[in-house]
Structure formats: structure tokens, C-alpha cells
Amino acid sequence: MLVDDIGDVTITNDGATILKLLEVEHPAAKILVELAELQDQEVGDGTTSVVIVAAELLRRANELVRQKIHPTSIIGGYRLAMREAVKYVESHLAIPTSSLGADTLMAAAKTAMSSKIVGADSDFYGRIVVDAVSAVKSVDPDTGRVRYPVSAINILKAHGKSAKESRLLDGYALNMGRAAQGMAKSLKGARIACLDMNLQKARMHFGVQVLVSDPKELEKIRERELDITRERIQKIIDAGANVILTTKGIDDTALKYFVEAGAIACRRVPKDDLRRVAKATGGSIVMTLADMDGNETFDPANLGTAEEVVEESVADNDMIMIRGPRNTRAVTVLLRGANDYMLDEMDRSLHDAFCIVKRVLENEQVVAGGGAVETALSVYLESFATTLGSREQMAIAEFADALLVIPKTLAVNAAKDATELVAKLRAHHYTAQTKPGQEQLCRMGLDLIEGSIRDNVAAGVVEPALSKTKIIQFATEAAITILRIDDLIRLEAEPTEGEE
């Protein structure tokens, strides 16, 4: 539980979120915070693992420095170990998803959620996650690459009912209703105008002074102020728009024109939502109607298109659903839960699972979870270190030992005997790498419920291969960055005359 200076509470076990909310002063610690954020951006999960591995690498490097081994030798050894580890994962440990069957996505989603708040209902949420990511599939027309944009999945949170009543909605949902009850409830063949401007009665800017000698002129000024807004709205409607979304306000007079035109209008749309709608429907956000000639026009090319826009009642709230947008298919996950803290943590958990499923779909390679990869790499790098006759040998051996921090931490968190379990796991992986015909033992990992060793691929505990390689690369680079530092110089601000 994290409480900030204004009393906002965050309850989470997501590594990146915890580190982001901490006010870290130490410069070296800031590198580890940025490391977790980088892992979150690149992969979406494994933020805690990457910080734990980087910290363990630094701890062991510090011991080597005390033994009078130069940091340059340690850095060289770490770099070599990282390259060998990544190469070994890709050549020996990565398994193509095509050889594992259709349940791989579900298994990866459940593995990503196993340590989260939704872990107890991972079957239920795993299905939502896999369906949502599969639904937003898009193909790049230029390169032919298949992409799964997680940004096309909108997450809405609503209080009440149980967490098991969360569901997947078809279409992009905006958490608001129509601006006026007289508007149509649904429109087929929607042409959507995304505006970042006020559609309220035009008012004079501050600093503009108008001297009126005749009281009748004052009434004309008021009429003209109304006419300016009406003309703007008419230009938008004449361009073919029948759904208008704006981040600013629409006053009652302006709403009347939209009702007469049979259009749907929504005001105070969050900017993030508007950007996503514009991207999904192929529209552009318009900030002003002014053109190069000094006149006001609305270009129909700025309109986005969708098959249908409809208002629906979901969980006591009205929501605008945008179905069948032109560019990417959009879906919405509606989360139900007891309070804000629970819903926020469910949102973070599902985001991690979305990213993991996306990586599995795009990279088509998975590895066994439960400490299998780290233990296999530790055994491999230990034997690799003995083949070197240079100073880097000790650094690579320490790198191999450092990787065991992951299976050890997993065992400790599950209240099991870490020393015994990791020793058994190492024995299995040593057999897999040295005895012909025993290669399938490289899939052995920890079963933290029974406190034993099992084939984790068969048990459905899998992770994207990309996640593991990125953890190793980012953790090593961060450790090397800090190892390169030999002195810290603090630059104090020059005192001003008053302070002297």
C-alpha cells in the first residue's frame, strides 16, 4: 500500500507501479526505476524480475570488486554472459507456439496473472484477455506484418457486483451518454468528427473593448455571437458528420442544432479516448476550423467512419459504443469490483496479461516458466565459464549464480524450502544439458503449490521468450551502467545574493 503526500492510496504488487510512485533520490536507484519502466514499455510484464536480477548482478559485482577484480573485467564478463544467455534461450529453450497447440495463449495469460489480484479467477480472466487481444488483430498493408495494438482495448471500470461479472464488450466504449435526450439512440454508417474545441456561444476575448452608441446594436452583437456558433456547427454537419465528439463543452443552444440535424453529440470526452477513437476510425482531431485563407471551413477528410454508434446502458451508466471502426477493430473490457483500489489493480493486472498475449502472438515463441529458464542458463553459463582462461571467467560464474535469485525468490514467496528445490532443479537441468536423450528435462520448473519439480510446459506455465531475453539484456545493461561509475560529484546550486 502506497500513500502519497495528498493522501491518495495505491494498493498493488506491480513492480513498475511501486517504483514509479516512490520518490527516489539516489541517482543509482533512479537507474533501476527507469529500468522497470523500460521493461514495462517493451514487454509489459517482468518488471519486478528485471529489478531483482539487476540488483543481484550489482551485489555480486561489488563482491568481485572487493576481491580486487577490475570493473572493466567484470563488465566484459557480464556482456559476454548476456550474449551467450540470449543465444542459448533462442537456440535451446524457446519453443515455437505452433508445436504446442491452441491453449498456449490461455496458458501464457494465466501464467502472467498467477501472482496478481485476479490470479484466483485466472481461467475466467484468461479467456477475456485472449478474446480481447485476438479481436484487435490488424495487418499492416505496407509490410504485411500482423499487429495486435493493446491501445485498441479500452478498459472501463464500474463499481458494484462481483469481479466475476466483468465482461468483454464489442466496440469502443466511451463512459458517457448523449449530450441531450432528444438525440437518436443509435446511428448506422457513422461519420465521426473528433473536435478539441468549444461549441459554446462565442464570446469576446479578454482585452477586446467594443464601444456601442446605440442600444439596438448591443442586441445585434448578442445575435451574432449565437450565429457564429450556429455557422460552425452547420459547417461540421454539412461536411457529413453525424456523430460529434468534443473534449470541451457544448451549450444548450448548440445542442438544439444537433438534435434538429439528427446527430449524436458528446461533450467533455477525455483526450486519451478521443485520440484512440480518431486512430481507430481513421479520423483526425480538429482544434480549429480556421483555414489558410482566414475563413472557417471543415474538411470532410477529417471525419472518421464506423459501422454503428449506439448508446447502451451498462451497470447503471449510459455508454456510447463505437462498433466496427474503419482502421482497427476495437473492444472494451468492462471491469466490475468492490472499490476503486481493487478495480485499479485489476486494470494493471489485465494490462500485463494483454501485453504478454500480444508478445506470444507476434513473436510465436514461448519458454517454460517457474524458474526453468534462469536455472538452465545458470547451469549452462557455469560450464561455459570454465572454458575461458581469462579474467572474465569469475564474472561469468557470478552472473550464472545471480540468475538463480529468480527461482529462489519464487520458492521463498511460496513458503517452500528454496535451497532444496533449487538444488533439485539444477540437477534436472544439468542432466538435460549433459546426457543425450534427456533434453526434454530443460522444461522442468518449480511447482509452487505442491513444492516439487515438474514439466512446466506440459503444466501450462509458459512465458514469451522475448520477456526472458529482455529481462537479461536490460538487467545487464543497467548493472553495467552503474558499474562504470567510479565517482559521484554533486553540483550544488550557486547561492543567490539574498542567501549569502
Rounded to whole angstroms, the Cα distance separating 429 from 372 reads: 8
Q: What gap in Å lies between CA 301 and CA 297, rounded to an integer?
A: 12
14 is catalytic: yes
The whole-angstrom separation of Cα 41 and Cα 157 is 23
Q: Is 7 left (phi over 0), alpha (psi -120 to 50) or beta?
A: left
Instruction: Pull the grid cell for residue 305.
Output: 467512419
Annotation marks residue 97 as catalytic: no
**Three-state SS for 25?**
coil
All three cell numbers of 359: 508478445
Specify whether the CB–CB gap between 23 and 30 falls below 8 A: no
Please report which helix (H) or strand (E) contains residue 486, including its range: none
What type of residue sits at position 287?
A: M
Task: Quote the CA–CA distance of 171 and 320 in Å, as a whole number.
Answer: 9
**Which among 10, 12, 17, 48 is annotated as catalytic?**
48
β-pairing, 146-147 vs 138-139, is antiparallel
CA nearest to 237, candidates 283, 187, 298: 298
Asked if residue 271 lies in contact with residue 246, where contact means CB atoms within 8 angstroms, the answer is no
Tell the residue number behind the cell numbers 456561444, with chain if given: 201
Catalytic residue among 10, 12, 17, 47: 47
Sign of CA dihedral 293, 294, 297, 300: positive
- As a whole number of angstroms, the distance between CA 94 and CA 463 comes to 10
**Widest CA span in the chain:** 103
Tell me how crowded residue 258 is: count the other CB atoms within 10 A of its CB: 25
Q: Give yes or no for a contact between 113 and 119, defined as CB atoms under 8 angstroms apart.
A: yes
**Count of other CB atoms within 10 angstroms of residue 149:** 17
| Catalytic residue of the set 17, 352, 469, 476 | 352
Catalytically annotated residues: 14, 47-48, 352
